[in-house]
C-alpha cells in the first residue's frame, strides 16, 4: 500500500494531504498578519497599559502571546481536523468551554455583587 493514513491520491493522481496545513510558509505569513492586526488582544493590552502602567502591560502582552502561541500550535497540528473527525472529542471540548465560560460569569457576578 503506497498511500499513507493521512493522505489520499486525488482523481488527478496527485497525493493530497487530508490533515493539517498543506502550505506552511503561506499559513505562517497569514497567521503573522492576522496577529499583527489590531483587535481585542491589542485593545486589552492598551487598556491595561493605560490603567496600570507599562510593566503590567508587558505582562498582559506576554499572556496574549502565550495564548496565541497555543492557538498556532494547535491549528498547525491539525486539531480542527481531529475535532471534526471525532464527535466525542468535539463534544468534550464544547462542554469544557461552556463550563469555563459559566465559571467566568459566576465570578464576574460575585465581584459585581461585592461592590
Going by the DSSP 8-state scheme, the letter that residue 5 receives in this structure is T
- Pairwise CA distance, residues 14 & 48, whole Å: 51
- 72 and 29 within one domain: yes
Domain assignment of residue 10, yes or no: no
- 69 and 92 within one domain: no
Domain assignment of residue 66, yes or no: yes
pLDDT tens digit string along 39-67? 888 899 999 999 999 999 999 999 999 99
pTM comes to: 0.53
pLDDT tens digit string along 22-40? 778 888 888 888 877 888 8
Going by the DSSP 8-state scheme, the letter that residue 17 receives in this structure is E
Domain assignment of residue 43, yes or no: yes
- 89 and 99 within one domain: yes
Amino acid at each position: 500500500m503506497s498511500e499513507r493514513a493521512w493522505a489520499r491520491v486525488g482523481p488527478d493522481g496527485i497525493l493530497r494531504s487530508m490533515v493539517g496545513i498543506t502550505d506552511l510558509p503561506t499559513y505562517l505569513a497569514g497567521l503573522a498578519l492576522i496577529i499583527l492586526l489590531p483587535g481585542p488582544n491589542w485593545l486589552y493590552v492598551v487598556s491595561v497599559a493605560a490603567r496600570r502602567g507599562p510593566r503590567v502591560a508587558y505582562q498582559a502582552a506576554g499572556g496574549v502571546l502565550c495564548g496565541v502561541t497555543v492557538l498556532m500550535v494547535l491549528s498547525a497540528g491539525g486539531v480542527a481536523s481531529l475535532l471534526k473527525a471525532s464527535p466525542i472529542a468535539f463534544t468534550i471540548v464544547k462542554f469544557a468551554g461552556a463550563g469555563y465560560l459559566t465559571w467566568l460569569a459566576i465570578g464576574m457576578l460575585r465581584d459585581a455583587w461585592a461592590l
